[in-house]
Amino acid sequence: MDKINLAEKLKLFEEYWNPKIIGECNDAHLKLAKLKGIFDWHHHENEDELFFVIKGHLTIHFRDRSLQLDPGELVVIPKGTEHCPEAPQEVHVLLIEPKGTLNTGNVVTDKTRPSLERI
Amino acid sequence: MDKINLAEKLKLFEEYWNPKIIGECNDAHLKLAKLKGIFDWHHHENEDELFFVIKGHLTIHFRDRSLQLDPGELVVIPKGTEHCPEAPQEVHVLLIEPKGTLNTGNVVTDKTRPSLERI
């Protein structure tokens, strides 16, 4: 067990839309991701997903509305809820979701990352 | 579902060592707490506990060492690990732990809070 400094971990990678596992807590993985551009519409059948914005401004589109999250803000997307994250400029997020959660949920696209690196 | 702004939630209470529930994600509660002074030694028999420091400098003592966490740093304390948080000056933390986790774990003290307010 050691402490995790989010800023230092974020220096260790550059790729967008490729979350890195930085730890675990009970049945969940803690992940960091850098986002830029628009992702793919998807939902997670059995997993709630937490997004916490560290840097930048993240828009999450839902079928009936959109939310904008600024640094220091978080949202929990309930299981089954279709969503599509969009980052017009670079965004850094902490994600917390059950181990095994696939980044593109119920769909497979060119952004699907079935195996995530630990940093 | 709505976004949660941590700074705004932190304006809603003042008491130390009395976590407030701000949301849930899968089987976990998301909590905010203000800490000042020293807590009580305890462990959580079945729950890993995540501390993320938002403001201030938190020391967490373990039986064989201590960790200092600064803003932007987190630690996951594995189940069964004795610990004692100390905040010489005011500290604000985000806690993530399974629903039902008691703040003083395996002991009951004057700091035990069996029922937490939602804000």
**Rounded mean pLDDT of chain B?**
96
| CA gap A100, A40 in Å, rounded | 19
CB pairs under 8 A between A and B: 85
Is position A23 within any domain?
yes
Q: Indicate the residue of B5, B54, B73 with minimum beta-carbon distance to A5.
A: B73
Q: Which phi and psi (to 5°) does residue B21 adopt?
A: -85, 125
Is position B110 within any domain?
no
Closest-CA distance, A112 to chain B, in angstroms, reads 22
- ipTM field: 0.94
pLDDT of residue A1: 83
Query: Could you tell me the CATH number of the domain that includes residue B22?
Result: 2.60.120.10
DSSP-H helix ranges across chain A: 6-10
Is position B1 within any domain?
no
Is position A33 within any domain?
yes
Number of Cα atoms under 13 Å in the Cβ half of residue A50: 27
Residues 6+ apart with CB under 8 A from B86: B37, B38, B39, B58, B59, B60, B61
Contact A98 B67 (CB under 8 A): no
Kindly report, residue by residue over B27-52, the tens digit of the pLDDT. 999 999 999 999 999 999 999 999 99
Is position A88 within any domain?
yes
The count of structural domains within chain A is 1
Per-block mean pLDDT, blocks of 10 residues, chain A (119 long): 96 97 97 97 96 98 97 98 98 96 93 94
pLDDT of residue B76: 98
User: The domain containing residue B92 runs over which residues?
Assistant: 6-98
From start to end of B1-119, where are the E strands?
4-5, 20-25, 28-38, 49-55, 58-61, 66-69, 73-77, 84-98
Is position B89 within any domain?
yes
